[in-house]
Structure 1
Amino acid sequence: MIFRDRTRAGRALAERVAEAVGECGHRPIVLALPRGGLPVAAPVADRLGADLDIVVARKLGAPGRPEWGLGAIAEDGPPVYDQDNLRYAGLTERDLSGTLDAERLELRRRVRRYRGDRPAPAITGRVVVLVDDGLATGVTAHAALRWINGRNPERVLLAVPVCSPEARDLLAPETDGVVCLSAPPDFCAVGRWYEDFGQLTDEDVDEVLRRYAHA
């Protein structure tokens, strides 16, 4: 399944998420992982009549190979590590202490940049849908789910258009359900499954958040 772009993927995902959420007695909240998760999350929030906000997370990359995620952090939560990848890299959690410190600083900067003076979203007792544009290792979403679950939601769903089967299986125990339109065995990378997978900017994030804050 190849998606035209993130917005169209979100529209397709929204119907499946609505089925999974079902009837709930209060307004659910959709949380996107910025930047790429927001254009996917917006149609989902529209379909559910839900609030839309973000949860900010950062990948902990391998030294010299920052694109290889060995762990992640979300908001003010504890780090989550991919133990299999750590062993494969011949590293320990302590070896990533410098990376962790640097990414915490960048995470705080991004929280200030995207959220300003607004508090973190209130999710206690609510149905929460975490959305991203796709999952490769799933480690960043894992950190976000741990942060969400630490705030006592009623239910937590993870929703993505495409993911690796391994990421889906890893994260299922952290949720009350995973909604994934496609989990190809030859996954390789998220961008492979989009015709348009252009880089998004902080201004793109601002535009979506302003629209929903006004609504």
Structure 2
Amino acid sequence: MAIGDHFKDRAHAGQLLAERLSEYAGKPDVLILALPRGGVPVGFAVAKALGVEFDVMLVRKLGMPGHEEYAMGAVGAGGVRVVQAGLVESGLVTKQAIEEATERELAEIERRDKLYRGGRPPPRLEGRTVIIVDDGIATGATLRAAVEVVKKSRPARLVVAAPVGAPDSVAALEAEVDEMVCLATPFGFHAVSQWYRHFDQTSDAEVQDLLALAWHAEKDS
């Protein structure tokens, strides 16, 4: 993908991402973990193209008070939390605000787990090649939380993949994983939505539908 090009939508981005991940096609130990909600259509397209297992990784951004679109950190399953260094010391946010945001987002993770999984046990990660997929990388906070969650389960190989990302955030994540795959790291990156022609909000229903399709296909294979 040339810098400046735009993806049609998340499914199209996932198809292009799958081409870069073709070495993992058809391997039974490979697992795609998508970040809900926007990462799910991308991850589903990748998993479908590669013929590998698909599931979700539940992490949540901690939004800056009053400016929720800006991430001050993220939380993940098992109480994993990543917070930007120096926020409290600089007076930009209080410890109480971080704790309140953490409690709120962990409750949302629990809600989504019940909604999306419906009691289905999480996939085994230990000893597998795990590819974490999102629709783009802005600050990278939620992906860093996802990486920490997966590392606790001792995968054999950990890959992060996204269609587009901020150069600094992509470089920082690259140092944390075995492989970083990002189709474009454009200069002047401001928001993930800039790089998609269609970037509608992904609904809970769409996530549920894609998971049901993936799990049904696995059962039939």
Bin of the TM-score, shorter chain as denominator length: over 0.9
**Aligned-residue offset at 1:9:** 0.7
Q: Paired residue for 2:31, among 29, 34, 42?
A: 29
Q: How many angstroms apart in 1 are the aligned matches of 2:87 and 2:17?
A: 30
Aligned counterpart, 1:73: 75
* RMSD between aligned residues: 1.8
Aligned counterpart, 2:183: 181
Matches within 5 A, 1:175-214: 175-214=177-216
Q: How many angstroms apart in 2 are the aligned matches of 1:93 and 1:143?
A: 19
TM-score normalized by the length of structure 1: 0.93
Q: Paired residue for 2:129, among 117, 122, 127?
A: 127
Q: How many angstroms apart in 2 are the aligned matches of 1:44 and 1:191?
A: 19
Q: How many angstroms apart in 1 are the aligned matches of 2:179 and 2:95?
A: 29
* 1:89–1:68 Cα change, 3 Å: farther
Q: How many angstroms apart in 1 are the aligned matches of 2:48 and 2:25?
A: 15
Q: How many angstroms apart in 1 are the aligned matches of 2:161 and 2:25?
A: 14
Matches within 5 A, 1:41-52: 41-52=43-54
**Aligned-residue offset at 1:18:** 1.8
**Aligned-residue offset at 1:89:** 6.0
Paired residues, number: 213
**Aligned-residue offset at 1:94:** 4.9
Q: How many angstroms apart in 2 are the aligned matches of 1:118 and 1:44?
A: 22
Aligned counterpart, 1:163: 165
AA aligned opposite 1:146: E
Gaps of 5+ in 1: none
Q: Paired residue for 2:156, among 133, 136, 154?
A: 154
* 1:192–1:96 Cα change, 3 Å: same
Tell me the SS of whatever aligns to 2:78.
coil
AA aligned opposite 1:176: D
**Aligned-residue offset at 1:90:** 2.3
Q: Paired residue for 1:114, among 113, 116, 128?
A: 116
Aligned counterpart, 1:59: 61
**Aligned-residue offset at 1:38:** 1.1
AA aligned opposite 1:181: L
Q: How many angstroms apart in 1 are the aligned matches of 2:159 and 2:79?
A: 19
**Aligned-residue offset at 1:41:** 0.9
TM-score normalized by the length of structure 2: 0.90
**Aligned-residue offset at 1:99:** 1.1
* 1:109–1:23 Cα change, 3 Å: closer
**Aligned-residue offset at 1:88:** 6.0
**Aligned-residue offset at 1:93:** 4.5
- Runs of 4+ residues over 2 Å off in structure 1: 21-24, 84-95
AA aligned opposite 1:16: R
Contact 1:11 1:43 in 2 (8 A): yes
Once the two structures are superposed, what CA deviation does each residue of 1:60-105 show, in whole Å capped at 9, x if it has no partner? 1111221111010112232101226666662355541111111111
Q: How many angstroms apart in 2 are the aligned matches of 1:130 and 1:124?
A: 14
AA aligned opposite 1:177: E
* 1:7–1:22 Cα change, 3 Å: closer
